[in-house]
Amino acid sequence: MPVVLHADDSDALPAHAVAGADALSLPGARLWPARVDREWAFGGATGDGATVCVVDSGVDAGHPLVGGVSRSVAIRIEDDETHVDEDESGDVCGHGTACAGIIRSVAPECELVSVRVLGEGFVGSGPALIEGLRWAVEQGFDVINMSLSTTKERFVADLHALTDAAYFRRSLIVASAHNMPVRSYPWRFASVVSVASHDIDDPLVYLRNPDPPVEFYARGVEVDVAWADGSTLRASGNSFATPHISGICALIRSKHPELTPPEVKTLLGLTATNAEVPG
Amino acid sequence: MSDDRAAVAAGILPGDDLHRALLRSIVDVARAIFRAQAASVFLLDAEADELVFEAVSGEGEESLIGHRFASSTGIAGWVLVTGQSLVLDDVSADPRFASEAAESTGYVPKSIMAVPLITGERAIGVLEVLDRRSGERFTMEEADLLGMFATQAAAALDLLQRSRSARRVLAGDAGGDTTLTRLAAALERAEPEDRDAALALLRAAEALLARMR
């Protein structure tokens, strides 16, 4: 299925239209301060105004650690037709609830949306994952949390086009890196923020990795998380590191809604715990 | 293929006994490496879209081998579909998981390490290690190690599954009447020019399949 997202976007602003003095008055000029630090990036931010979409197993919206979601949908594919249904099934695993709870803990006032791409009758992983992501990109959410990946090469072109579309449409996709020796996507793409885990027990410690494709490390070991049916448990995995970065991105977008995905990613690198800040 | 050649081919391919022994060895070794109370393996039945409980070592009911559940729900389903490994403690706190575990294996674990069995680009199942005997938590490093072991196990299982289905076809379990065997027979009978045309069509189908991979 072709990716068609505002096909005329490419015609909206031809490069030759902004020569000369016009170029200096483009929105966003003189955006950056002399020095970038966490205080500038997200100091005082609560996530208010930013929307984070969790593409996962659904979310238990009534879980006290989740604090409600503004919308839950499920992807259903029948006869090659994609349907986006309002979803009242909650969480078919517990994992999506864990991600939503982590995001809420970092960005307490952000708006959460759930897209369920797992569940009974979801034959195979690829198509529902792609269609769930496509819907999220079309909605233009500030941050899209994808603690999952696919190993199927036939979905790579579609996924690549979708993540590029998100990148240009100001939706930042934050994706879990695979911790097994397999090739999987979309975390390997440069248009997303890829996350693996460190074992430091601090939700605000995040590290930049100078040796990609894994770009950032966040807390992902022995994290107390929300789980299905109102339960909590202790979990480890890259899939729990990812929502920490999603939460921090929500804080950044909440304070600086004008920042584009590559700018948010740069800001993450500049404010990483291991980034060298010249005195 | 002549009956003789089919019989020879079926004879040299490994049978169900070896498949069962490999599954058993995978769970035994996984359990031993991590000094765990139990280990179990679930394989995907892609046609039914179900995970099948195939083998267990340690705690859990042997009699429930063959038990099936939806392939993309629960912890094993999440691991299968997303291809990501998980380490979970206090998992018995999840009431749904606890009752499903009690029902499917008769054993409710406290902690789980679950990794996908991936071969090439296909996830064919899930390997789980449950509860360390000493009560210590499983670590992420151990999950990485289990993932490496699972990749090796998946490659072996994949080979055995392929040979098992080939053996079924050769031994006539599929009635000796699959699309491919009918095509082969029809090609054998066809006039040379019809045969060339049919072969050209098959080559086109082959090229199309190669592009769809």
pLDDT in tens, A229-273: 999 999 999 999 999 999 999 999 999 999 999 999 999 999 999
Q: Any idea what the Cα angle at residue A115 is, between residues A90 and A175, rounded to 5°?
A: 120
**A154 vs B: CB within 8 A:** yes
Which of A32-36, A171-175, B56-60 ranks highest by mean pLDDT? A171-175
d(CA B131, CA B123): 24
pLDDT tens column, A5-21: 443 455 555 555 556 67
Strand partners, B58: B38
Please tell me which residue of chain B has the smallest CA distance to A156: B213
Least confidently predicted of A192-196, B76-80, B189-193: B189-193
Helices in B13-139 by DSSP H: which ranges?
16-33, 74-82, 95-105
Q: Which tokens in the block code for residue A156?
A: 């790579």
Q: How far apart are CA B118 and CA B26, in angstroms?
A: 14
**Which residues lie below 8 Å from residue A77, measured CB to CB, with a gap of 6+?**
A83, A127, A128, A131
What distance in Å separates residue A136's CA from the closest CA in chain B? 18
Give the three-state DSSP class for B188. helix
Contact B83 A184 (CB under 8 A): yes
- Asked if A122 reaches chain B (Cβ–Cβ under 8 Å), the answer is yes
- List strand residue ranges (DSSP E) for B12-169, in order: 36-45, 50-58, 68-70, 86-89, 112-119, 122-132
A233/B86 Cβ within 8 A: no
Q: What is the pLDDT of residue A210?
A: 92
Q: Which residues of B touch A181 (CB under 8 A)?
A: 147-148, 151
Strand pairing class (A51-56; B112-119): unpaired
Cis amide leading into A14 (omega within 30):
no
pLDDT over threshold 80, residue A150: yes
Q: What is the structure's pLDDT at B42? A: 92
Chain A positions in Cβ-Cβ contact with residue B94 (cut-off 8 Å)? 94, 227-229, 231, 233
Would you call B147 and A179 a contact, using CB atoms and an 8 Å cutoff?
A: yes
Closest chain A residue to the Cα of B110, Cα to Cα:
A233
DSSP tag of B138: P
Q: List the single residue in A93, A181, A199 with the smallest CB-CB distance to B148.
A: A181
pLDDT value at residue A204: 97
Asked whether the bond before A186 is cis by omega within 30 degrees of 0, the reply is yes
Inter-CA distances, A235 with A120, A223, B106, Å = 24, 5, 23
Considering chain B, what percentage of its residues have pLDDT values greater than 90?
A: 33
Q: Do B90 and A233 touch (CB under 8 A)?
A: yes
Residues of A in contact with B69 (CB under 8 A): none
Distance from CA of B173 to the nearest CA of A (A): 26
| Residue, of A194 and B1, whose pLDDT is higher | A194
Question: Half-sphere exposure of residue B110, counting CA atoms within 13 Å on the CB side?
Answer: 10
Contact B87 A151 (CB under 8 A): no
Tokens of A201: 């027990």
How far does B207 lie from chain A, in Å, by closest CA?
15
CB under 8 Å to B182, separation ≥6 — which residues?
none
Cα distance from B136 to chain A (closest Cα, Å)? 13
pLDDT at B13: 65
Q: How many CB atoms lie within 10 A of CB A24?
A: 9
C-alpha triplet A264, A268, A273: angle, nearest 5°: 170
Q: What is the pLDDT of residues B172-196, one digit of tens each?
A: 654 455 677 677 778 878 888 888 8
Across the interface, whether the CB atoms of B212 and A122 are under 8 A apart is answered no
Rounded Cα–Cα distance for residues A36 and B193 (Å)? 75
- Give the integer Cα–Cα distance in Å for B39 and B142: 14
Mean pLDDT of B146-158: 91
Instruction: Report CB contact under 8 Å: B94, A180.
Output: no
pLDDT value at residue B177: 54
Look up the ipTM and state it: 0.86
Selecting from B73, B85, B122 the residue whose C-beta is nearest the C-beta of A119 gives B73
Put simply, the answer to whether A180 touches B49 (Cβ < 8 Å) is no
Determine whether the interchain pair A180/B121 forms a contact, defined as Cβ–Cβ distance below 8 Å.
no
Q: Which residues of B touch A147 (CB under 8 A)?
A: 82, 84
Beta-carbon separation of B88 and A234 below 8 A: yes
**Mean local confidence (pLDDT), B32-44:** 94
Q: What is the DSSP track for A128-180?
A: HHHHHHHHHHHHT-SEEEE---B--GGGHHHHHHHHHHHHHTTPEEEEEPP-S
Q: Rounded to whole angstroms, how far apart are CA atoms A78 and A84? A: 11
Q: Tokens 């020019």 map to which residue? A: B193
> Degrees (nearest 5) of the Cα angle A61, A65, A66?
30
Q: Quick check: helix, strand or coil at residue B90? A: coil
Indicate yes or no: CB of B89 within 8 angstroms of CB of A147. no
Determine the Cα angle at A65 with ends A60 and A68, to 5°: 55
* Chain-chain contact of B72 with A183 (C-beta, under 8 angstroms): no
Mean pLDDT over all residues of chain A?
A: 89
Compare B77 and A125 and report the one with higher pLDDT: B77
Query: Number of CB pairs < 8 Å for A and B?
Result: 147
* Whole-number pLDDT of residue A225: 97
Segment A19-61, tens digit of pLDDT: 667 666 766 655 788 888 999 999 999 999 999 999 999 999 9
- Whether residue B96 contacts residue B147, with contact meaning beta carbons closer than 8 Å, is answered with no
* pLDDT at residue number A8: 45
Is A120 close to B88, i.e. CB distance below 8 A?
no
Helix A95-106 and helix A238-255: axis angle, to 10°?
Answer: 40
Which pLDDT score is estimated for A57?
A: 93
Q: pLDDT tens, A72-110?
A: 999 988 888 889 999 999 999 999 999 999 999 999 999
